A and B are shown apart, each in its own frame.
Chain A
Amino acid sequence: MNQAVNKLFGGLSGLVGFLLLAGLILIVLPGVLDGFRLNLVGKYLTYAFVAVSLVLCWGYGGILSLGQGIFFGLGGYCMAMFLKLEASSPANTAIQTTPGIPDFMDWNQITALPWFWKPFYSLPLTLIAIVALPTLFAWLISFALFKRRVGGVYFSIITQAIASILTILIVGQQGYTGGINGITDLRTLLGWDIRTDEAKWVLYFVTCALLLGVIVLSRLILTSKLGLLLVALRDQEDRVRFSGYDVANIKIFIFCVAAAISAIGGAMFTLQVGFMSPSFVGVVPSIELVIFAAVGGRYSLIGAVYGALLVNAAKTMFSESFPELWLYLMGGLFIAAVLLFPRGIAGLVERYGPPAMAAIGKRLPVPALRRGAPAVRSAK
């Protein structure tokens, strides 16, 4: 029993933290928020998938990806393509020159559905693609780079460049992708209208359930030997290599897992918000996603969720009143997170919060603030 709690939640305090989060998003928020606000929270929670994925690959693995928007976007686009095809039935698009294809294709003088759209007629294939395509793409990137021992800041810059390239590609191939506007006007999922309040309510809970599942799965990875290896190779990559591990494979694996998690978030985003566009793929959103993880605590799976929720709540509040100030505030927040609380909100809670909530990651190795000055909790 104890062992199961350790493995799944990271010890008793981890279990408490997990239950608090579950209570908050499953009971408290749906209880106090109106439909519109709850839908916003649902949207924030889809970003939380990415924040959690960054805890895995950045916090633990030391792989800072500035391109998680790529995978969030790919997942979201896969979902959007399915919904768009359903919305573009010949009956719905009878006024087009070519009925039965998405409206933006018709506007761009495309007369037949491109081959790569065809699998998205099928929901099972779409669900597979949502996870498989971004994972495959992540594998290609990470295999090419990690096998050549490209790492650190170079890896970050390359992921950022790829995010930028993908945006340009999506915007440029307007006829196939919907261009800068993205894929809009999504209506139903197998005939079920996703635009109603009731549908949004259901989708919110699906998002919560998936997110909690992802957290448990991530915890399982982190409490395995692979989790220890991630921390080990973040600090001493050569030592891991000369202890008999193919370091690149470990990094590729965790990067692919992170991509898959981000993609699920992207797909849930599309379902709840009703469209997908390149503005969720590029450099700026990718960096924002990193900020969520940094503010929440990049060593804490649960902290990352709070990071995504709080930063986005703040963003919504401030941009409703002072839209032009938000970007500065966001920048300031990131600097503050790096300089003043490098372990994010989770680190602050662990340090100053009630002991029951302390050490959300107690069973897990909690990294030191600085190398050479480890955070010592019990040096007895």
Chain B
Amino acid sequence: MTTNPSTASNTDFLLAIEDLTVSFDGFKAVNGLNLYVDREEIRVIIGPNGAGKTTVLDLICGKTRATSGSIRFHNRELTRLAEHEIVWAGVGRKFQNPAIYENLTVAENLVVSYPKGRSVFGSLGFRRDATVQTRVEEVAEAVFLQDRLDEPAGILSHGQKQWLEIGMLLIQEPELIMLDEPVAGMSVRERQQTGELLARICQGRSMLIIEHDMDFVRSIAHKVTVMHQGKILVEGSMDKVHDDPRVKEVYLGH
């Protein structure tokens, strides 16, 4: 299914995507994509609807299988791993709509995401000891939910749900965090807090973010990639991208 990922070269990048293509019944949602993400880099992907942004995240985390090409993380090929093995390798992904467990409390949401006791019998024997408790509180504080630990996650506001899901990623300590429109539906104040949050947690890890809010992108991105029709249109600093006539035409011009 994947054409010779073994031929992909070793790189110093944390994430190296080469010649990645996925075809749905002949429609190439991602077409020969090359994308490299550095260690501790915050990369934002922008682009019009249908450009293939979410599909790229789906491909990296294994939700969608590539037709051809290679995705290397720490020079380890991801395209052949099962979804949970990709998580174990150090890739965390947040979905576009907050995917949290509404019937569990905030603390339980974090405990479920805690990266120990991941096998069936491991989870049966898992003990919520002081180490776990401390970590849960730490993460809850990082995502501004330290006072809501015992409340059902279902009653949180939309923005808080987004934060909780970010917290659920954080507790797994991934080296690459992928976020799909993390500030969509947030108030101005929440956006600002989220920006600070992301800037804080990017230490020691990289991020790949899809976002439409240009002010937000400007405030956090180290580098911006513009996608269009499954390919990369432009890549570079926010200013470079913003001034590019092709980007204006397909995306920013309206």
Contact = CB atoms under 8 A, between A and B. Distances in A.
Contacts of B120: 226, 249-250, 253
Given A225-B117, A238-B63, A243-B112, A368 B95 contact: no
A36 interface: no
A372 B154 CA distance: 7
Nearest to B61: A242
A114 interface: no
Contacts of A379: 151, 155
Contacts of B124: 221, 224-226
A244 B104 contact: no
Interface string A338-380: 0000000000000000000000000001111001101010010
A229 interface: yes
Contacts of B128: 225
A244 B172 contact: yes
A374 B112 contact: no
Contact of B108 (A228, A244, A374): A228
B101 A235 contact: yes
A224 B103 contact: no
Interface in B108-127: 108-109, 111-113, 115, 117-120, 123-126
Interface in B143-171: 151-152, 154-155, 165, 168
B174 to A, nearest CB: 9
Which of B115, B118, B128, B168 is most buried by chain A, counting CB atoms within 10 A of its CB? Answer: B118
B250 interface: no
Nearest to A236: B99
Nearest to A232: B101
Contacts of A238: 63, 95, 99
A228 B168 contact: no
User: Which interface class (under 10, 10 to 19, 20 to 34, 35 or more) fits B?
Assistant: 35 or more
B84 A235 contact: no
Interface in A116-167: none
Interface residues of A, number: 32
B101 A244 contact: no
A46 to B, nearest CB: 26
B93 interface: yes
A226 B103 contact: no
A289 B176 CA distance: 47
A244 B123 contact: no
Interface string B75-92: 000000011100110001
B16 interface: no
Contacts of A249: 119-120
Nearest to A220: B124
Given A235-B103, A239-B100, A244-B87, A365 B108 contact: yes
B123 A368 contact: no
A205 interface: no
B102 interface: yes
A243 B91 CA distance: 9
Given A224-B126, A242-B61, 9 more contacts: A232-B101, A232-B104, A239-B165, A245-B84, A249-B120, A250-B123, A368-B103, A372-B102, A374-B152
Given A239-B99, A243-B87, A244-B88, A374 B63 contact: no
Contact of A374 (B61, B102, B123): B102
Given A225-B111, A238-B95, A374-B152, A246 B82 contact: yes
Which of A239, A246, A374, A379 is most buried by chain B, counting CB atoms within 10 A of its CB? Answer: A239
Nearest to B117: A225
A224 B82 CA distance: 25
B84 A365 contact: no
B112 A240 contact: yes
A53 B117 CA distance: 24
Interface string A243-260: 111110110010000000
A88 B112 CA distance: 54
Nearest to B91: A242
A242 B154 contact: no
